[in-house]
Amino acid sequence: MILVTGASRGLGAAICNRLVAQGRDVIGLARAGNEGAYPVRSCDVTSYEGWRQLAKDLRHEGVHVDALINVAGVASMNLAVTTPEHVTRRVIETNLLGSIFGCQAIAPLMIRRKSGTIINFSTIAVHLGLKGESVYVASKAGVEGFSRAFAREMADFGITVNCVAPGPIRTDLLRGVSDTQIDVIVEQQILRKVFGPDAVCDTVEMLLSPSARAITGQVLHVGGA
């Protein structure tokens, strides 16, 4: 079974749909649960207890978790000194703590079987140090640092841990970003274009495949950085 956070829309939904189309078993995680092409369970990624309860439920149901993909995230495009406290907390709690809590809760289910794949999501903004995204960059830089260290902790259990760090991707997240801002980012990528969700899905698909069994502790930039 593959768990995917942020499964109700955007990249999370695109990844779920790609995996389902390949015949993979998927459970989506989002604030509101529903049933569609794949089941979506209610899960607030910022809740430590919520993650623990999910892991307990999966264990009791006999679900074998093969992979965890932490896609859920929020962005804040604002100067650090003008970012309200509640926004700062929301970004850090969702992006960084949400990923850490997910790994803490779900990795033990993989450790028992001595196999598994964890994919956390970062952003090209970390590499570029983008102006106006300081808080967002801080949260995702934390995800990258955690993932590198966590990969070493999980290595003896046959579990790989990597980050996918996309540039601008055509999802709802770009609706509040001006074309000028997008152009500034794209001009600093190696491949100077805005990619669609399929490019990210391709990268995730590769990391889930047996051919990626020797890749861990890495940050893969979709678009190049």
What is the predicted pLDDT for the residue at 175? 62
Q: What CATH number does domain 2-222 carry, 3.40.50.720, 2.30.40.10, 3.40.50.970, 3.30.160.60?
A: 3.40.50.720
Q: What is the pLDDT of residues 127-183, one digit of tens each?
A: 988 888 899 999 999 999 999 999 999 999 999 999 999 987 876 665 666 677 777
Task: Calculate the average pLDDT of the chain.
Answer: 92
Measure the CA–CA gap between 67 and 58, rounded to whole angstroms. Answer: 13
What is the predicted pLDDT for the residue at 149? 98
Higher-confidence position of 33 and 185: 185
Q: What is the pLDDT of residues 84-114, one digit of tens each?
A: 999 999 999 999 999 999 999 999 999 999 9
Q: Which two tokens stand for residue 19?
A: 């995996």
Among residues 33, 34, 39, 31, which one has the least CA distance to residue 2? 39
Give the 3-state secondary structure of the chain.
Answer: CEEEECCCCHHHHHHHHHHHHCCCCEEEEECCCEECCCEEEECCCCCHHHHHHHHHHHHHCCCCCCEEEECCCCCCCCCHHHCCHHHHHHHHHHHHHHHHHHHHHHHHHHHCCCCEEEEEECCHHHHHCCCCCHHHHHHHHHHHHHHHHHHHHHHHHCEEEEEEEECCECCHHHCCCCHHHHHHHHCCCCCCCCECHHHHHHHHHHHHCHHHCCCCCCEEEECCC
Q: What is the pLDDT of residues 59-72, one digit of tens each?
A: 999 999 999 999 99
Packing angle, helices 197-208 and 10-21, rounded to 10: 50
pLDDT band, residue 32 (cuts 50/70/90)? confident
- pTM recorded for the entire structure: 0.93
Higher-confidence position of 203 and 183: 203
Sorted by sequence, the CB contacts under 8 Å of residue 151 that are 6+ apart come out as 160, 161, 162, 216, 217
Domain ranges of the chain: 2-222
The catalytic site residues sit at 136
What is the predicted pLDDT for the residue at 17? 96
